[in-house]
Structure 1
Amino acid sequence: MNTEQRTTTARQLYQKMESARKPYTDRAEKCAQLTIPMAFPKESDSSSTKYDTPYQSIGARGVNNLTSKLMLALFPPNAPFFRLSLGDDIKAQLTNDPATQQEWEAALGGIEKQITQYMESHQMRVTMNEAMTQLILAGNVLLFLPPKEGGMKLYRLNQYVIARDGIGNTIEIVTKESIAYGALPPEAQRCVDGDNIEAHKAIDVFTHTYLDGESYQSYQEINGAIIGGSEQTYPKDASPWIPLRLRKMDGESYGRSFVDEYLGDLKTLEALSKAVAEVAAIASNIIFLVNPNSMTRISELQKANAGDFVRGRLEDIQALQINKTSDLQITTTAIQSIEARLSYAFLLNSAVQRNAERVTAEEIRYVARELEDTVGNIYSILAHELQLPLVRRFMNQMTGTGAIPNLPQGAKGVEPTITTGIEALGRGHDLAKLDTFIRYAQVFPEAFQTAVKQNEILNQIATALGIDASSVVKTQQEIEQEQQQAMQMQMAQQVAPQMMQGQQ
């Protein structure tokens, strides 16, 4: 496609692709209404829009809890979520040169820390937290990282359209932004028709990015005119645009959300919670009925103080009751059942510990591990579509500013490997298996001391916990050296008294 000779403007393309996106935005709006309404506002909403508060809070609690767990699992604080390792070709060349290989690995470790500090210093964690919320609610979100400048921009599902091929590769992206005229650069202001335009007037800016061979072409336009200097070209594997999906659906350009799968339970819980709240409000309105033929005077009762005596009959006055206690018990039981199911789905702590007098710590760990397994598939797609592209974008940004050297990638250079998410989940299972093995092996103390490779067990435990084993576990060579030094010191202590006696 040539931006100079195009038959369809970015605005027209955006409007044409909106129809395919609409079912997904409609579902996202329903999911937001039952959880956090302001997290996914409609395109027509503004700062003055008032959102209805749901009658139940478990939806909002679940979304916030799952967002926090995903952030901690994918991007642990103050620790790299990836590891830079040498490609196979370089490793083969350095097989006979362990000293140089160790220097390379030490240098890559320093770059890992630099990239992690870069992410924290540019407050990208805040945007990533919002992205996790959008994925859970809407199932889709678009991130943009400028090639040379720091920071990160987020686009909600109703702010962009996308087209993918059959295997999920991005073919085309069109974003829509409303920017005040006064905030536009001079090149963009020239594309706006009219004189004396107010500075606060919102102008729609469309950004079109499309795949052209082995690279992505991008440009921006206003009112069908391309903004001068906005044309950009990006390598296919280093595009600043990162479109994310939570649930991949083959043949679809958009993904599905986590909340969408539990929309039925949330709708039912909302309806039942609303009914209980309304009945409770009615029941709290106390009204007394008085027998019209009674001898009890209402005026005397109203004037009476506590402890006064008033002439009247008890049966003349009765409080109005709705007599729906048994029906409300059925409703309450249904609410508790739905809340329990949603607690399991959203990994809430209330689902980990069952309601009983005695609950062992092992039972809690088992249930928590089982719940973590249910979101393992989320880690898989986010490792491929979020974490790996994110590392490459950070490296490109920092290379452009000269913060880190330009490193070749792939088998002939440096390969980033994700160490959190699904990888950490697998190591957690390895740790559980090691724990079980140790407990069974210690039933036979003598065999455990003589037949089990205890040093290797320590190495595997450190690896399962994500700790560098070489920094906390002594090697066999170090152990032998310490033993030899201890024997030499012991011999020296034994020889010293004899030498003193000989001298006397």
Structure 2
Amino acid sequence: FAAAQLQADKNDVDTRLSQVAETTAAMMDDLKVRPALAEVIKQLIAAGNVVAYLPQDRAPRVYRIDQFVLKRDNYGQFTDIIIQEKVWPSTLPEAVRTALGVKLDPNTDEKQIDVYTVVEQRDGKVTHWQEIEGKEVPGSKSDPIPTDQAGWLAPRWTVVPGSDYGRSHVTEYLGDLLSMDDNYKAITQFAAIASRVVTVVNPNSSLDVAELAAAESGDYIYGEPDTIQTLGLNKSQDFAVIKDVTATIEARVKEAFLVANYRDAERVTAEEIRSQSEELENGLGGTFSVLASELQQPIAARYLYVAAQRKLIPAIPEGIRPKIVTGLAALGRAAEVNRLRTFAADAIQILTPQVFASLVNAPAFLSRLGNEHGVSSLETLLKTEDQMAQEQQQAMAQQAMQAATPAIAEAAIGAATQDPNQGT
């Protein structure tokens, strides 16, 4: 009984946590978080570094590497970030312009001014403010906020020990990219030269070059065809080598940037795709770990905090923290769903459907499957234990009634046909 109660409590907790995740994800969609995160990934792949700010009521802000400088401590956590932005003075509130001494002259062209955002992390708390022309913008300084709730992120693609900045994915394959670019340039130039058609006529030929040039398709002219020749480069073999080398480099770059490159066949099995996916995942295993700690974990913590502040979800207890699972196993809820399906299919094949149905805990299995699918209002779809017990009692009563019906009918028939004088 205790084990069953614990399992029921676990299913209830899983359902509630699934509702929390679904509500938070819906709020993130309302705040347009996904487009900003896509830009963050692009910046990490190309530049290796990016800074993002996640406000509570607006879409995230993304800053390129040429817009900020930062410092990190020995553990890789940022300590100071300075961001430079350019704004038009006319877009600043009048109170801010007055306090900072920024004046607008209608007789001259407006020029942009620099706005610096300073972010400091000290003792596990983050503070930020803005400055214009060396003066702090009034009302811009925030109160100290715990790091996992502040919303400031400074992720890296690849960690470089002892460096404040990371290395990009493009940098790792810069040699291949440059070589491929040079080869494509040579092939394009060769194609441009080869596309020129120049005809050489033997000077001793009786052909008139002007007449030949003016001839249209289907015309007849006098001459000897052996005295005419079209110039060719005769470099096809040489450029075939460049083409093969370029194809090899291109395949390597495609694999590095996760571009699908399956074999050309009518049937490509799922096992082949899974095998190649595992190879790619192993090659980027370190990157996934870095992104989990510096991007995914802070994003989850930040928006769970924002959802709780908005009263969309209950406050998350101290003992519960989001866990980011990296690698192929973390491709989403679909991975867990596939594992459940594979488990059920294998068990049914080995044990037969009847034996599997008698051994599996059907309500718990369906609850787990629904949670992984992200089904909303799952508790309204599945029957409770009380409902199942009541239905079982009704079925037993109906079965007993059906079993007693023949005996009752036989007794009634016997009573009806019995001679009333019998026994007197």
| 1:404 aligns with one of 304, 307, 312 | 312
Q: Distance in 2 between matches of 1:292 and 1:324?
A: 26
Matched residue, 2:185: 274
Matched residue, 1:466: 372
TM-score normalised according to structure 2 size: 0.79
**Partner SS state of residue 25, structure 2:** helix
Matched residue, 2:112: 202
Matched residue, 1:500: 409
TM-superposed deviation, 1:161: 0.8
Instruction: Show CA shifts across 1:27-83 (max 9, x none).
Output: xxxxxxxxxxxxxxxxxxxxxxxxxxxxxxxxxxxxxxxxxxxxxxxxxxxxxxxxx
Give the alignment of 1:182-261 within 5 angstroms.
182-190=90-98, 191=100, 196=105, 200-237=110-147, 238-261=149-172
Closer, same or farther in 2 for the Cα pair 1:359/1:222, shift >3 Å? closer
Matched residue, 1:171: 79
Q: Does 1:381 align with 2:287?
A: no
TM-superposed deviation, 1:404: 3.3
| 1:139 aligns with one of 48, 63, 71 | 48
Matched residue, 2:421: none
Closer, same or farther in 2 for the Cα pair 1:452/1:213, shift >3 Å? same
TM-superposed deviation, 1:282: 0.9
Aligned 8 A contact 1:427 1:464 in 2:
no
Matched residue, 1:347: 258
Closer, same or farther in 2 for the Cα pair 1:298/1:392, shift >3 Å? same
Closer, same or farther in 2 for the Cα pair 1:199/1:420, shift >3 Å? farther
Q: Does 1:295 align with 2:206?
A: yes
- What CA RMSD, in Å, does the superposition of the two structures yield over aligned residues? 4.1
Q: Distance in 2 between matches of 1:321 and 1:196?
A: 68
Q: Distance in 1 between matches of 2:329 and 2:343?
A: 21
TM-superposed deviation, 1:356: 4.4
Aligned 8 A contact 2:46 2:169 in 1:
yes
**Partner SS state of residue 22, structure 2:** helix
TM-score normalised according to structure 1 size: 0.67
TM-superposed deviation, 1:122: 1.9
**Partner SS state of residue 207, structure 1:** strand
Q: Distance in 2 between matches of 1:479 and 1:299?
A: 98
Q: Which runs of 5+ in 1 are unaligned?
A: 1-94
TM-superposed deviation, 1:326: 0.7
Q: Distance in 2 between matches of 1:443 and 1:260?
A: 49
Closer, same or farther in 2 for the Cα pair 1:398/1:466, shift >3 Å? closer
Aligned 8 A contact 2:281 2:327 in 1:
no
TM-superposed deviation, 1:297: 0.5
AA matched with 1:157: I
Q: Distance in 2 between matches of 1:346 and 1:420?
A: 18
Q: Distance in 1 between matches of 2:353 and 2:311?
A: 54
Aligned 8 A contact 2:180 2:249 in 1:
yes
| 1:336 aligns with one of 226, 239, 247 | 247
Instruction: Show CA shifts across 1:274-333 (max 9, x none).
Output: 111111111111111222332100222233333322111112221111111111211121
Aligned 8 A contact 2:334 2:373 in 1:
no
Aligned pairs, number: 402
Which has the higher Rg, Structure 1 or Structure 2?
A: 2
Instruction: Show CA shifts across 1:125-147 (max 9, x none).
Output: 1111111111111111111123x
TM-superposed deviation, 1:433: 7.5
**Partner SS state of residue 229, structure 1:** coil
Aligned 8 A contact 1:163 1:253 in 2:
yes
Higher RCO structure (Cα 8 Å, ≥6 apart): 1
AA matched with 1:275: A
Give the alignment of 1:31-110 within 5 angstroms.
109-110=18-19
| 1:151 aligns with one of 44, 53, 59 | 59
Q: Distance in 2 between matches of 1:297 and 1:332?
A: 40
Closer, same or farther in 2 for the Cα pair 1:194/1:463, shift >3 Å? same
Instruction: Show CA shifts across 1:331-382 (max 9, x none).
Output: 1211221222222222222x2x213465434323332344344434333322
TM-superposed deviation, 1:178: 0.7
TM-superposed deviation, 1:489: 4.2
AA matched with 2:153: I
What percent of counterpart residues are identical? 32
